Structure 1
Amino acid sequence: MKKHILSLALLSSCATSAFAQSSVTLYGVVDASIVYTSNQKGHSAWETVSGNESGSRWGMLGSEDLGGGSKAIFRLENGFNLFSGKLAQGGREFGRQAYVGMSNKDLGTVTLGRQYNAEQDYLAPIQIGYSLTAYSLHPYDTDALNSTFRTNNMAKYVSPTVAGLQVTTTYAFSNSTDFAGNRSWSVGAKYAHGPLSAAAAYVMLDHPGSDTAGAVASDNYYPSSFIHNVIRQQIWGAGTTYTIGNATVGLLYTNTVFSLTGGTERFQNIDGGLRYQVTPAVTATVEETYTLVGSTASAPRSSHYWQTNAGVQYFLSKSTDVYLNGIYQRASGVVAFITSATAASSNQSQVVAVAGIRHKF
């Protein structure tokens, strides 16, 4: 009798072990570069910059197999400055991402935590210049493709991919008795079939940056020197890429409207780019971006930016590459100010050159 009981206990233990398989992966990116800027408030500058091609980070990704195609999942992802050792994203321990949830191969994935919205998930990869450098993104990053803000208090659903189509919807709570205060929601879809990829998304933020507890915290939003008193921010966009042999061409349009106490600010971005795989180890990219700004809140009422982004990546291995990027911007109606530059130009043009190395682990 005792032998039977012992055998059953051992079988039960083995079955439990086989049923609940867990894994945790440690990963990261270290990215360092030297940057030259032609004009910052009238002076040229040489700087060391961390996280240029990819934000420097380390993280943990985990899952537990619950059976029946279901998994418990989590991600904790930290951002840091390689040159100073300081935490990024306002000093947050896991400022890039922090979430836990459930995934099912047939039903999709639900996660809770600090996460990216649907537009950041789906439209950022569509922009050809996104793979180059943070300097190649749109002026002031008004569409947040460079993740100027991430979203707290978020519940997120991602559907399974069916016939190449996947959809995402998110809702982030204000965590206040003012339910409609600092909250956000988004919806997006992407489609991939063969050489074609396409995506569209919409994001709405109510009273973003109005406090530290809501969906978009005040210490993780645009600086007040750029824009303040935002009642609502709406972002929408659509884009597509198509691969022909070694070449990938892409088009992207985004539209961001800031509703302010004294009017509105609208930023429209149009991108066209080409990425070419010169050899298995060398990738070359060129992109043109046009940004049109319209304002009813302040002068000038209209301005625009033309920007050219170009770069080359040389992959020393699957994990390590070196890169050289150049960005030129010409503004009209305002001074030039390339995104991620330390300061605006004193005139209507600005040039940034970047040389760096990135290692993934």
Structure 2
Amino acid sequence: MKKLTLVAGAALALVSNLALAQSTVTIYGILDGGISNVSGLKNGNSTAIVSGIMDGSRFGFKGSEDLGGGYKTIFTLENRFELDTGSVSNRPPSGAQLPDRLSSAEALGLSPTPTNVATVAAVSAGIGNTVGVNLAGNLFDRQAFVGLVTPFGAFTLGRQYTPAYLVGATFDASQTQSSLAAGQVGSFPPSFDIRLPNSLQYGIKVDGVTAALMYAPGEVTGNSSARRFYGAMAIYKGNGYSAGIGHNTRNNEFGQKSLTNTVLGATVDVGPGTLYGQFATIKDDNPTNLSFITNTDVLAAFNNAFKQNANLLHIGYKFTSGVNTWVVAYSKYDDKKAANSDTSSYGATYTYALSKRTSLNAVLVRFDNKGQAQSAPGQAGFLGGVTAAAGVGSTNVALGINHKF
């Protein structure tokens, strides 16, 4: 199978790509692993055998039944797993460590009274224990949806990729692969909703235009606006170029407007390769999942610390020649808050195709942190966590093998 992308991973693209007769089921997957070294961490460099350098390891099932008259039922069930351990979840190399700005009363702007110190320590530890991927151990954490393809579009429901994220992935030169991916510089707190459970989506493809609308009720009894989500996207692909726009907005557990993104992207064929660019806005004035904090002063301090007001910039170039593929890219999380926690990443990846299904990969990426930023590079399958202290940068070197079936 090809890497999950907008075309392969979303129901809206299946409108045009499925040409199956009667009923079929496909088993597919990616096995991706290697060795990764990350510098700048609290306990020194981390060298480890990891899963998910270029792609998150996975297996899945997708199927279609031809109902006739241009109608089909479709489904996808996609599991994530760790190739190195066999588990379905992981923690970043820095473990439960939070950025310095979230780890002490003084950093949060609170007076260092015994009560504040103890409360902040307990809250920081609790939040730190939630940092990771699929810590709940869900069986089909990547995707799980069913839908109906009609002559006038596809309707799907379940756990799906969000519209703005799909636009960001499409106009990322690395296609979300490795620590070079644009979204790596905005991973904590999360700058995008990647997938969403309990979602309804309508997608359509007409000529060169692919578009989708998504809605997810918050399913909070007594508050219909709590955790509610809306998203939309449109991409146009022309001859040698493409452009797109996506928008997501989600409410917090109180029904207040929370994480909101708008993504603009474009590609153009230049020379032997393709030039990629995107610009995204990240806004969150009412962070989610902090209502468990009962001390009002501490709650206000954490709310302020978790707010986001930033832009994400990305430019990259991808070039393939025979069995060789190179990607170079630069990304920047430009923090507009007083903390000025800016993170820039730059580097390159190289892929050597041993066959249509198997490749060898090399990654070299540098993260530069400014202000109170402490981002460390992760990979396609896991978060990077945080560096030793504010302003400390980090370098990632990784070598791996990727096999698709």
- Write the deviation string for residues 21-80 of structure 1: whole angstroms up to 9, x where unpaired: 100000000100211112101511101211121111100000000000110111111111
| Partners of 2:21 and 2:35 in 1: CA distance | 47
TM-fit CA distance, 1:20 = 7.6
Alpha-carbon deviation of 1:231? Answer: 5.5
Are the aligned partners of 1:143 and 1:255 in contact in 2 as well (CA < 8 Å)?
no
Selected match of 2:331 from 273, 283, 289: 289
1:109 and 2:154 aligned: yes
Distance (whole Å) between structure 1 residues aligned to residue 21 and residue 325 of structure 2: 42
C-alpha displacement at 1:187, in angstroms?
0.5
Q: Secondary structure at the match of 2:399?
A: strand
- What is the Cα deviation at residue 142 of structure 1? 6.4
- Residues 201, 212 of structure 2: 8 Å contact kept: yes
Partner in structure 2 of residue 259 of structure 1: 285
Residue 335 of structure 1 deviates from its aligned partner by 4.4
Tell me, in whole angstroms, the C-alpha distance in 1 between the residues paired with 2:206 and 2:21. 27
Evaluate the alpha carbon distance shift between residue 251 and residue 51 of structure 1 in structure 2; reply closer, same or farther with a 3 A threshold. same
Contact 2:163/2:213 (8 A) holds in 1: yes
- Structure 1's consecutive aligned runs of 4 or more residues displaced over 3 angstroms after TM superposition are 134-138, 142-145, 261-264
- Hey, what's the Cα distance between the residues in 2 that align with 1:315 and 1:75? 27
Rounded Cα–Cα distance in structure 1 between residues aligned with 2:388 and 2:269:
36
Normalised TM-score (structure 1) = 0.82
5 Å matches for 1:208-219? 210=253
Q: Which range moved further: 300-309 or 128-137?
A: 128-137
Superposed, which structure 2 residues align to 1:1-361 within 5 Å? 21-41=22-42, 43-88=44-89, 89=134, 90-104=136-150, 106-134=151-179, 136-138=181-183, 139-141=185-187, 149-159=194-204, 161-177=205-221, 178-207=223-252, 210=253, 232-260=258-286, 262-263=303-304, 264-277=307-320, 279-295=321-337, 300-340=338-378, 341-346=384-389, 347-361=391-405
Task: Find the aligned partners of 1:142 and 1:242 in 2 and give their Cα distance.
Answer: 31
Which structure has more relative contact order (CA 8 Å, sep 6+)? It is 2
Q: Partners in 1 of 2:39 and 2:187 — Cα distance?
A: 20
Give the SS at the match of 2:175: helix
Higher strand share: 1
CA contact (8 A) 2:343 2:373 kept: no
Aligned to 1:39, the other structure's residue is in SS state coil
In 2, Cα distance between equivalents of 1:272 and 1:78: 31
Q: One-letter code of the match for 2:149?
A: S
Deviation, 1:135, is: 5.2
Flag structure 1 segments of 5+ consecutive residues without an equivalent: 1-18, 215-229
Aligned equivalents of 2:249, 2:278: Cα separation in 1? 19
- Distance between the aligned counterparts of 2:27 and 2:313, measured in 1? 37
CA distance in 2, matches of 1:149, 1:272: 20
Question: So what's the TM-score if we normalise by structure 2?
Answer: 0.73
TM-align CA RMSD? 2.3
Change (3 A) 1:193 1:272: same
The one-letter amino acid of 1:53's match is: M
Amino acid at match of 1:287: A
